[in-house]
Structure formats: C-alpha cells, structure tokens
C-alpha cells in the first residue's frame, strides 16, 4: 500500500515537471521570437530614405525672386549684379544691374570697420564678447565664446579678414552711445557718401534688411580704401589670437588675396541665403586701379569665378583697359618665354 501510494504520488509530480518544462520551453520560444532582429533592409532603400530626409529646398535669394538672374551678360557671370569701374576716373568698364537694391550680407562689415577707424577709438582697449553678441538672426555659431576678451584691433582684424560676426557686433556695441547709436551712424555715413540706395539695421550683415546697390558699394570701397589699416586687415591671409589658453588661427574668406597674379588692395566677402555670394574688391590691373562689386552670385565659389572671368577679360585683346599694343607686347613676351622654356627642355 505504501509503495502503491508512493507510486501514485510520484505520478502527478512527474506530470507537473513535464508540464513546467513544456511551459518554460514555450516561453523561451516566444521570447526568442520577440527578440529576433528584423531582416536587414535593402541598402538602396536605406540610402533613398536618407536622401529624402536630407533634401531641403534652398531658400531663394532676393535676386532670384526678382528675376535678376535672367539678365544676360557677355561674360556669363553667375552674379546677378556686377560693377567694375576705374577708381580714379569713375569710368564704368562693366555693368550688370548696378542699381538693383539687394541684401549685402557681410559686406556690411566694411562700413562697420570704417566707422570704428574714423571714431579713433583705442585699438588696444579690451572688449569682452557677451550674450548680446550672439547671432539671434540666423543662429550661427562662433569660435569667439561668450566671455572671450580681445582688443578692439583684434576684433577689427577678425571682422574684416574672417568675417567674424560676434567680433563685428561687439565693435558696434562698444561704440560711443552703444549699438543703436552705431547703427544710426552707419546710415548717416552712407547718406554723407551719397549712398542713396543703402540702409543698415545692424553691424554684421546677418540681417537681410541690410541692403545696398553695386553703385553705392563702389563708393564705400573707394572711401574705405583711403584707410591703410582697413586695407591691411582686409587683405590679411591669416591671424592667430589667444582664446583662453589656446592659440587659434583664423584665415581669410577670400582666397584671391593669396594668389600672386592678383594685386588686391582691399576686399570683403559676404553670404546669407537672401543675398547669395557677395564680393567687393579694389585691385590693380594693367596699371589701373579698379573697383569690383559682385552681388547675389549663385554657387559657393561662383563669386571667385566671376572675379577671375572679369580679370581674364580685362587682360585680353578685347579689354577696355589694356591698349592693343600693350596686349600684343605681352603676348609676344609670353610666346618668347614659352619658346625659351621649350629650348631649355
């Protein structure tokens, strides 16, 4: 009886263990199904979806919205506005929509520099970057962190050479009377120079409400070129400043100043979406001092390409500044040099 009872008592235990094992196995199987990784997606589909997410329509410039890019010119420039004139005689050598009023981006900083230099403020005075100097227009960043302290001269250098926005804003903020007085002085100076198409609302160029025409900007370049400090700083190729314990190198935004075949006396670049790529320069070619203005150029390097196209044209046989005899002499000299090179080889 005892054995039979024991046997009977063991039978349910064995069944329970089997049931428990089966249940655990089922759970494990269910768990393994839930944790299984999804099948890999096609690389092409993944790339296509990523491309769709990254495509953001570019914001059109004011020049594009106004249809200025429909204007044709013999040099096929990418800039919708261009002006080249003789600095001494004001003779217009090339013109394309010169009176169109457009946003000018960081070309603004040329007026900012002009006011700082004319005010005769100490270039050695220390100025600290504050929260007020942050970009609240386009929300761009800067290597000049809040709390950075540099001299007015250093900030002026970075504003002209590297188009540093916080540097330009700090210069305006530390003008006698503050930022509001500075912007007022910018507009008064523009009026005094006869820049009737020009209006400023801030000292950096980040606002699309800073607007001017090529004709007006040529006047500004001509005036700013009279100041040796502006010429020197705007054409500097690189500059190193101490930011805390680090030495940080800043570079020019205009690679043409590094090229031996260009003689540039003053320059300033600019870009925001509303303005396109912009460039103003004073340069010497064929013994003449020229002022060049390119606004609303389409493409990252297009303003440089336009400047090169104009230079090539000005140095060609059809140039309005190079006499035919001089061009022939230059061509003959180049041919002689080439022949000599061949003989040496």
pLDDT per residue, tens digit, the chain (345 aa), is: 333 333 333 334 444 444 444 555 545 444 444 444 455 555 555 454 554 445 556 789 999 999 999 999 999 999 999 999 999 999 999 999 999 999 999 999 999 999 999 999 999 999 999 999 999 999 999 999 999 999 999 999 999 999 999 999 999 999 999 999 999 999 999 999 999 999 999 999 999 999 999 999 999 999 999 999 999 999 999 999 999 999 999 999 999 999 999 999 999 999 999 999 999 999 999 889 999 999 999 988 999 999 999 999 999 988 888 665 544 454 454 455 444 433 333
Q: How far apart are CA 336 and CA 37, in angstroms?
A: 73
Task: Specify the DSSP class assigned to residue 13.
Answer: H
| Helix runs in 98-177, H state only | 108-118, 152-161, 165-173
From the list 264, 209, 259, the residue with the least C-alpha distance to 232 is 264
Point out the catalytic residue in the list 61, 79, 80, 106.
Answer: 106
Q: What is the per-residue pLDDT for 317? A: 80
**Which conformational region is residue 163 in: left (phi greater than 0), alpha (psi within -120 to 50 degrees), or beta?**
left
Q: What is the per-residue pLDDT for 320? A: 84
Among 3.30.60.50, 3.40.710.10, 3.40.50.1970, 3.20.20.70, name the CATH number for the domain at 62-323: 3.40.710.10
Active site residue 109: yes
Active site residue 142: no
Point out the catalytic residue in the list 78, 96, 109, 215.
Answer: 109
Pairing relationship of beta strands 126-128 and 238-243 according to DSSP bridges? unpaired
Q: What is the per-residue pLDDT for 286? A: 87
Point out the catalytic residue in the list 61, 79, 80, 163.
Answer: 163
State residue 98 phi and psi, 5-degree precision.
Answer: -70, -20
| pTM confidence score | 0.78
Q: What is the per-residue pLDDT for 227? A: 98
Q: Is residue 81 within 8 Å of 277, Cβ to Cβ?
A: no
Angle (deg, nearest 10), helices 165-173 and 178-192: 100
Q: Is residue 78 within 8 Å of 310, Cβ to Cβ?
A: no
What CA dihedral angle connects 112, 161, 155 and 135, to 10 degrees?
70
Q: What is the per-residue pLDDT for 45? A: 53
Q: What is the per-residue pLDDT for 9? A: 36
As beta bridge partners, residue 151 has 126
Query: In the chain, what are the domain boundaries?
Result: 62-323
Return the ∠ at Cα 184 (arms to 182 and 188), rounded to 5°: 115
Q: What is the per-residue pLDDT for 42? A: 57
Q: How far apart are CA 299 and CA 279, in angstroms?
A: 13
Q: What is the per-residue pLDDT for 23? A: 52
Q: What is the per-residue pLDDT for 10? A: 34
Task: Specify the DSSP class assigned to residue 70.
Answer: G
Q: Is residue 165 within 8 Å of 142, Cβ to Cβ?
A: yes
Q: What is the per-residue pLDDT for 300? A: 87
Active site residue 207: no
């Amino acid at each position: 009886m005892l054995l039979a009872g024991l046997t009977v008592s063991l039978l349910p235990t064995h069944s329970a263990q089997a049931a428990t094992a089966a249940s655990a196995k089922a759970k494990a199987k269910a768990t393994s199904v839930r944790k299984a990784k999804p099948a890999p997606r096609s690389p092409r589909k993944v790339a296509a979806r990523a491309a769709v997410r990254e495509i953001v329509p570019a914001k059109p410039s004011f020049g594009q919205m106004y249809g200025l890019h429909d204007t044709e010119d013999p040099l096929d420039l990418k800039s919708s506005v261009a002006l080249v004139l003789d600095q001494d005689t004001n003779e217009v050598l090339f013109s394309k929509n010169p009176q169109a009023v457009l946003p000018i981006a960081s070309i603004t900083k040329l007026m900012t520099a002009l006011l700082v230099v004319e005010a005769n403020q100490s270039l050695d005075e220390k100025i600290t970057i504050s929260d007020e100097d942050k970009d609240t227009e386009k929300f761009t960043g800067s290597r000049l962190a809040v709390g950075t302290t540099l001299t007015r001269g250093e900030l002026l250098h970075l504003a002209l050479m590297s188009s540093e926005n916080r540097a330009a804003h700090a210069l305006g903020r530390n003008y006698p009377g503050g930022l509001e007085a500075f912007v007022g002085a910018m507009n008064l100076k523009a009026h005094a120079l006869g820049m009737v198409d020009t209006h400023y609302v801030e000292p950096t160029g980040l606002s699309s409400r800073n607007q001017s025409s090529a004709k007006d900007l040529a006047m500004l370049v001509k005036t700013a070129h009279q100041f040796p400090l502006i010429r020197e700083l705007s054409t500097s190729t690189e500059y190193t400043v101490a930011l805390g314990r680090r030495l940080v190198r800043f570079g020019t935004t205009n690679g043409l100043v590094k090229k031996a075949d260009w003689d540039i006396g003053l320059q300033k670049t600019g870009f925001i979406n509303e303005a396109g790529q912009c460039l103003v320069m004073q340069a010497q070619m064929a013994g003449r001092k020229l002022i060049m203005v390119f606004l609303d150029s389409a493409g990252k390097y297009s303003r440089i390409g336009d400047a090169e196209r104009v230079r090539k044209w000005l140095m060609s046989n059809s140039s309005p500044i190079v006499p035919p005899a001089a061009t022939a002499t230059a061509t003959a000299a180049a041919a002689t040099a080439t022949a000599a090179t061949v003989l040496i080889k």
